[in-house]
Amino acid sequence: MQSVCVRRLWGSAQVSRLLKVTNINRSVRQLQHKKVMEDNKPWALTSEPGEGFVEDLTNIKKHFQILCYKDFLQNPQLHGPKIQAMLVWGKSPPTDPSTLRSLPSLKVVANGGVGIDHLDVPYINSLGVKVTNTPGVVSDATADMAMGLLLASARKIVQGHQISVDPNTTNHKPQSLMGVEVTGSTMGIIGMGHIGCRIAQRGKGFDMKVLYHNRTRRSVEEEQAVGATYCEKMDDLLKESDFVVLAVNLSPETTGLISTRELNLMKPTATLVNISRGRVVDQDALVKALKSETILAAALDVTYPEPLPRDHPLLGLPNVLITPHVGTDTLSTSRKIVQRMVENAVAVLKGQSIPNEVKPK
């Protein structure tokens, strides 16, 4: 009887050991398979997490092996030949000729955001490399920023906060905080693309009269949907608007679009809001217009350069509100941008239809 029990116990122990070995072997095979899959993923060059990219890079890692630009610089000769995609956020990684020439296997530059004025698209294309961007996903966040700047400037919200938290304040409601009515005022939007239309929607919510100027007129249905009226001449929009909002792409035609002549056409009670690009506005002319009270105020999410030199005259004017180009900076929008960048890059590498390819004009 005792020998039977011993045999049973011995047999159970062997089975247990066999199961453990089997499980270990299975885990090893799974890890080996996972490593093979990882090794087969294409390499993408990115900026450092936190330098534009959200910290969570999980979505990128599903499709790419990631090399940060800082690590790339340690040995470009070693790393350069394996890079097939660049995921560019802002101006990082740089797309200068020297960097691009060190990436002989590069197939795509996937830009985060709509603006591509920092990319030499014809040159990049000449290397056989596609360029993509992420229109649409940035529209709501940028339109929110435009309205936020407009409201903060009109109602002097920043000045009110500063007075409220200043320990030396004795008069908590000075006359200087008297603001401008937004509801029922006239907003003129220059540039009626995705973002411009979203801004118009928000203006409609404030019962604003919405005017717009664009290279091509939107359809009647699109105008009615956002309550916008087309101005064929930009001059007419400038003369009538209480708030002029710039939402154009930067191009040779829009560089310096707003200068002395245009500012002089605006009402002395008008505010200029810029969420497009800094170079759309002649900043020297803007400084003069603000100092001379040719216009009432300016609210800018973009400048040129960014950031402005600390002694730039715009920084010392009381009727200017400046934010550091954060129009798209929400967690939700940042994740959507990364998702679209990845989709574009994967499509290029797989030879599929590219959702958002940028082609030279």
Distances (CA, A) of 170 to 26, 165, 179, 212: 74, 11, 20, 44
Pairwise pLDDT comparison (30 vs 130), residue with the higher score: 130
The pLDDT value recorded for residue 360 is: 84
Look at the alpha carbons of 288, 289, 294, 297 in this order and tell me if their dihedral is positive or negative.
Answer: negative
CA 298 to CA 281: how far, in whole Å?
11
Answer yes or no: 325 catalytic.
yes
Among residues 219, 184, 220, 177, the alpha carbon closest in space to that of 204 is found at 184
Condensed to tens digits (0 to 9), the pLDDT of residues 30-78 reads 444 444 445 689 999 998 766 555 555 778 999 999 999 999 999 999 9
Structure letter (DSSP) for residue 101: H
Considering only CA atoms, which of 161, 211, 205, 164 is closest in space to residue 186?
Answer: 211
Over residues 145-152, the mean pLDDT reads: 98
Amino acid 13 reads: A
**pLDDT of the residue at 223:** 98
228 burial (CB, 10 Å; 0-12 / 13-18 / 19+) is buried
Q: 297 or 54: whose pLDDT is higher?
A: 297
pLDDT at 202 over 50: yes
Confidence of residue 173 (pLDDT cuts 50, 70, 90): confident
pLDDT value for 211: 98
Contact (Cβ atoms closer than 8 angstroms) between residue 354 and residue 129: no
According to DSSP, the residues that pair with 115 across neighbouring strands are: none
Rounded percentage of the chain residues whose pLDDT exceeds 70: 87
Separation CA 342–CA 119 (nearest Å):
18
What's the pLDDT tens digit per position in 229-258?
A: 999 999 999 999 999 999 999 999 999 999
pLDDT in the model for residue 172: 83
* Conformation bin of residue 110: beta by default, left when phi > 0, alpha when psi is -120 to 50: beta
Element (H, E) at 91: none
Q: What is the mean pLDDT of the chain?
A: 91
Q: Which residues of 314-328 are buried (b: 16+ CB within 10 A; e: fewer)?
A: beebeebbbbebebb
pLDDT given for residue 171 in this prediction: 87
Sign of the Cα pseudo-torsion (164, 166, 169, 175, in order):
negative
Active-site choice (306, 312, 335, 357): 306
Among 195, 89, 59, 202, smallest CA distance to 138 is for 195
Any alpha helices (H) in 133-292, and if so which ranges?
Answer: 139-154, 157-165, 194-205, 220-226, 234-240, 260-265, 283-291
Number of other CB atoms surrounding residue 209 within 10 Å: 17
Domains and CATH numbers, the chain: 40-135+331-358 (3.40.50.720), 138-165+176-322 (3.40.50.720)
Torsion, Cα 250 254 256 259, to 10 degrees, reads -130
Beta bridge partners of residue 110, listed in sequence order: 87, 132
Q: What is the mean pLDDT of residues 75-83?
A: 97
172 is catalytic: no
pLDDT higher than 60, residue 108:
yes
Averaged pLDDT, 283-294? 98
Query: If pLDDT is split at 50, 70 and 90, which confidence band does 291 have?
Result: very high
Look at 45-54, 81-90, 121-130, 294-303 and tell me which has the smallest mean pLDDT: 45-54
Tell me what the mean pLDDT of segment 331-353 comes to.
96
Asked if 354 and 132 touch (Cβ cutoff 8 Å), the reply is yes
132: nearest Cα among 298, 343, 274, 305:
343
Q: Annotated catalytic, 306? A: yes
Q: What is the strand order of the sheet 297-300 is part of?
A: 228-230, 209-213, 186-190, 243-246, 271-274, 297-300, 320-322
CA distance 199 to 197: 5
Decide: 272 and 299 in contact? Cβ < 8 Å. yes
Distance (Å, whole) CA 276 – CA 274: 6
Q: Six-digit token pair at 57?
A: 């890079």
Q: Cα–Cα–Cα angle for 143, 146, 147, nearest 5°?
A: 90
Residue 84 in tokens: 């097939």
Residue 13: pLDDT band by 50, 70, 90 thresholds? Answer: low
Catalytic residue among 202, 218, 277, 340: 277
